[in-house]
Amino acid sequence: NAGVTQTPKFRVLKTGQSMTLLCAQDMNHEYMYWYRQDPGMGLRLIHYSVGEGTTAKGEVPDGYNVSRLKKQNFLLGLESAAPSQTSVYFCASSSTTGRHGNQPQHFGDGTRLSIL
Amino acid sequence: KQEVTQIPAALSVPEGENLVLNCSFTDSAIYNLQWFRQDPGKGLTSLLLIQSSQREQTSGRLNASLDKSSGRSTLYIAASQPGDSATYLCAGFVSSGSARQLTFGSGTQLTVLP
């Protein structure tokens, strides 16, 4: 009963390095989301996808890219890591029963990323 | 732009007390209002989802209400237990055209003392 799985769980990068965070869900959900959580600021949406092959920008997309080549996977890429991208990153997914957004989002346990 | 505020940022109560967590939002055109629980080092767990056409939802000892006209939602926890200690976040879902977005409050950190 995996739900939403994020890898890796922890990572430390140097400024300028690149990396990809992987999110996988086994619930056959259409919608997937990437958020970042910073102290005292709640969660902010980076990018989201409403189906395989589609992506869209959220509130804070700069410095990130995403891909949804397979329905079950949603990848978040950092092209050139910056210290401001130090954060906890959460992936979530939801189904499309009824109007969009009418189903709760299911979250992974997060990836803790530090940029030195 | 939707803004969601949660007050207080932290709350400590003795075991057995009933308590209310508050959430306010600026855009009344929300599709739903969701309450989540987050344990330290973990992701978010959905507790209750209130559709825009509903006034409240209940699950066990939890009851969430929604008043779109005043831009407020409350989460009521009855007979609190130490296991309820966690951070509780509310989020309003807005969908406009192709944009779909949950806007989160910064959370209320609840501690229930045994």
**Of B32, B42, B101, which has the smallest distance from its Cβ to A58's Cβ?**
B101
What is the distance between the alpha carbons of residues A76 and A88, in angstroms, rounded to a whole number? 13
**Contact residues on chain A for B102, CB-CB shorter than 8 A:** 33, 43, 45, 101, 105
Q: Give the pLDDT of residue B36.
A: 95
Q: Indicate the pLDDT class of residue B98, thresholds 50, 70 and 90.
A: low
What is the distance between the alpha carbons of residues B58 and A80, in angstroms, rounded to a whole number? 45
The mean pLDDT of A45-69, rounded to a whole number, is 93
Question: What confidence tens digit (pLDDT) does each residue in B24-50 have?
Answer: 998 878 888 999 999 988 889 999 999
- A48, B101: Cβ pair inside 8 Å? yes
Q: Give the pLDDT of residue B101.
A: 77
- What is the phi/psi pair of residue B82, to 5°? -55, -30
**Contact residues on chain A for B51, CB-CB shorter than 8 A:** 102
For tokens 């922890």, name the residue.
Answer: A10
- B43, A108: Cβ pair inside 8 Å? yes
Question: What confidence tens digit (pLDDT) does each residue in A60-90 have?
Answer: 999 999 999 999 999 999 999 999 999 999 9
What is the distance between the alpha carbons of residues B39 and B111, in angstroms, rounded to a whole number? 11
The chain B residues in contact with chain A (CB within 8 A) are: 4, 9, 31-32, 34, 36, 41-46, 49, 51, 89, 91, 93, 95, 98-102, 104-107
Is residue B13 predicted with pLDDT exceeding 70? yes
The mean pLDDT of B83-96, rounded to a whole number, is 89
